[in-house]
Structure 1
């Protein structure tokens, strides 16, 4: 048997040889967790090349400056993005910048054109890359991995629960012959009872021209070496294990990745200028009783219709509870601003804080005044709430969000549904009010009023928050997985070198 000293030496050598190439999808919800992943890998001794573009690099300037200042072994590689060549406006380098969902195909094709310049860059690197971790949508990175003879791991920002749902849908082509959007679909091989309508399933959004790209993504996903997930074993072990069994792939759970960047986790540092001074926001929260405030925010891509925002606001007013409300309405914001000025903002000024545009979400969630989070159930926001130990009111819009709602409400039992009646797809305008003011008032009361059920939910949320933090501490499940990932990929590099 090898000595303990020899094992430590082997692990250290593997870390020194492990060179990870991280390639995120050009969308904030996918890029942010990958910046966290880069920091985790570097802090555990690996070398990281983080592939980005000039516009996206400017958005993460705070993180780049932090990495440089602290000496992290992260190289930020800014490749020219061929926007104009693929029919996009000059400087359009992120999903939240495209003016129509029809241009998403152009964005994906422009991303695929990064293959040659990226390959040329990697040929010049020493040590050579030992592993590529790319967003699952970047199917073209598989060709680079084969050229270098290295593993390709995929990342898509989903949790294990939603990843398993998505995999079964694609494997069995579950949605192809379902014509009724409201028909309930069963998922063969899913370990617990689950039914979803077609329109609430991830992958139900149709974008013209993406058929071949979807096919390429799935074919290369099947060939990949494994999957990296922003989750942790103690949260959803059953679904992670089921995913490994069904796919035959190793899953590396290395989350919650948002915890590693808590010290620089302001929106301004993450690439989005906060619309309100953080000190002003914290000062307002400091004036509120612990656990008394409802926080409302629907992420970076969801633009809620003005009439629905009005209904939401009236529900918050009727609840008579304090709230912090982040409002994003895109080009319809003037209509919302007009309604706010007609008396709403004045009526709630003593117990309501309205933030227009971006807000320091993690900072708010961790404040002792926050009692619940009304969220769109994007996985980044969901796991941020889990880490903070805050129960949720679920208001999903599209993609994996309805699946995440089921995890929160049915499995974790740390949230209540607001009662969304219809899907609001990304890139499509919401046409009707799907949640009434009464539903908002009832959901807020369920979580914020005294009562045994609400107290139990709050306790469960706090327990998961403790487990989340322990997972990334030395000896925790995710901490160990990061070390094992680096060691395995470093050993592969040593073997091939």
Structure 2
């Protein structure tokens, strides 16, 4: 007897308005569209234009514009967290996202999707009850952060700040003491992690029919199990959607520069690159108050390093650079996307985290998986050029025991992640889980 094919899904997506959230959502949308499912993507007009121009499935992946409301504290024309100073506050952006609920509701009434994906728009489940769709709170940050970040909001009152003792408390059943010990550091370093943030994160997850996470069981299985137990609802893992091949060539000027150096000799550094004596490529935003990257360089820096180093203030093709034969070490803040890209590369990994989720990602790679080295910090979180240089040389020293261990562990995880059908299996299982909601 021939089984009747299931009808394709119609999924709407409304991610948090940050490029680090939108981009993985777009990648997931493309994976689902490739399997024949219809995706309706909701974004502010200007931001939507950037992503809709690179749409390989226009008949299935469709974009719907939203107007950005005027909100006190939100700069004119701002649509994502890249347009604001997140070290001051993200509250204005949160207010704007909440103010878009009426527009989103009207679109969802017309679109009538089967399922809606969101992460921090905690009012989406209320619309689900009115319109009639299922919800997946899909997160693109690590399960370690989700597991730890939701604990204070559920166990402590919101009308007061948490004490260090409360932050250091290990929740019952939590699978990692090392991550817990870093959570209070994450809150000290990042204004983005506050009681309000915790409550928003928790509420969004509590209201969903299921929780989705851009991760895999091989790296964060115990954390995912913990989240499922705490929220008493299914947790679907999509896999990280890592690039399988690099079809396009790297930009010519970077290809030519990198090719001058011996294989595995290149360094991408943030601070302390000059002290290593090795070739380096630094890609970063210009410091606040400077008109350009060049203006902010130390006096005499360009003359000293000559053509052995590049400091660049624009966007670069990070994945392609990491896979170039001359690149031997990747220094990163350890955002979730960069974490996956580093694991799929052959480079040694050195980490200088700053924001809360970066700190917990670092804890996962350094202490849980033992595939990376973290730069030591001084008082008040200061990173000196000496400590950065030391960490890079430590990771690159193939004769040291630590260098050997992290290199071998990294190779083992890369073999898993790049294995045949690894990503495809996650996608297919993820889709099967979505059908189970209906």
Question: What TM-score does the superposition give when structure 2 sets the normalisation length?
Answer: 0.88
Cα 1:219–1:318 shift into 2, 3 Å? closer
The one-character-per-residue Cα deviations of 1:369-420 (angstroms, maximum 9, x if unpaired) are 2222111111111111112243321111122111111101011111011113
Asked if the contact 1:396/1:420 (under 8 Å) is kept, the reply is no
1:390 to 347, 350, 355: 347
Aligned residues: 435
Name the residue aligned to 1:250. 234
1:79-138: CA deviation from partner (whole Å, max 9, x where unpaired): 1111x355533311111212576663222122112222222222223xx30111102x21
Secondary structure of 2:29's partner?
helix
Q: 2:392 aligns with which of 412, 435, 444?
A: 444
Residue 376 of structure 2 aligns with which residue? Answer: 419
- Matched residue SS, 1:52: strand
* Corresponding position of 2:134: 151
The residue matched to 1:289 in structure 2 has which SS? coil
Counterpart position of 2:64: 77
**How much has 1:202 moved relative to structure 2?**
5.4
Query: Partners in 1 of 2:339 and 2:322 — Cα distance?
Result: 11
Structure 2 unaligned residues grouped into runs of 5+: none
Corresponding position of 1:229: 213
| Cα distance in 1 for residues equivalent to 2:319 and 2:244 | 12
CA contact (8 A) 1:200 1:398 kept: no
Q: Which has the higher contact order (CA 8 A, sep 6+)?
A: 1
Greater Cα offset, 100-109 or 453-462: 100-109
Return closer, same or farther for 1:258/1:57 CA change in 2, 3 Å cut-off: farther
Equivalent pair of 1:119/1:144 in contact (CA under 8 Å) = yes
- What is the deviation of 1:238? 2.2
Separation (CA, whole Å) in 2 of partners of 1:212 and 1:199: 15
Cα deviation, 1:122-170, whole Å, max 9, x if unaligned, reads 2223xx30111102x2112122222122221112321222221222333
**1:33-72 equivalence runs, <5 A:** 33-60=24-51, 64-68=52-56, 70-71=57-58
> 1:360 aligns to what?
317
Map of 2:431 onto structure 1: 483
Gaps of 5+ in 1: 267-276, 298-311, 425-433, 493-497
Tell me, yes or no, if structure 1 residue 19 matches structure 2 residue 10.
Answer: yes
**How far apart, in 1, do the equivalents of 2:60 and 2:245 lie?**
16
Aligned partner of 1:320 in structure 2 is 277
463-472 vs 394-403, which moves further = 463-472
Counterpart selection for 2:181 from 174, 188, 196: 196
Asked whether the equivalents of residues 181 and 197 of structure 1 are also in contact (C-alpha less than 8 Å), the reply is no
The CA distance in 2 between the partners of 1:454 and 1:400, in whole Å, is 25
Q: Give yes or no for the alignment of 1:167 onto 2:121.
A: no
What do residues 257-315 of structure 1 show as CA deviations (whole Å, max 9, x unaligned)? 24279658x9xxxxxxxxxx922112211222222222236xxxxxxxxxxxxxx2xx2
Question: How has the CA–CA distance of structure 1 residues 183 and 203 changed in structure 2, closer, same or farther, with 3 Å as cutoff?
Answer: closer
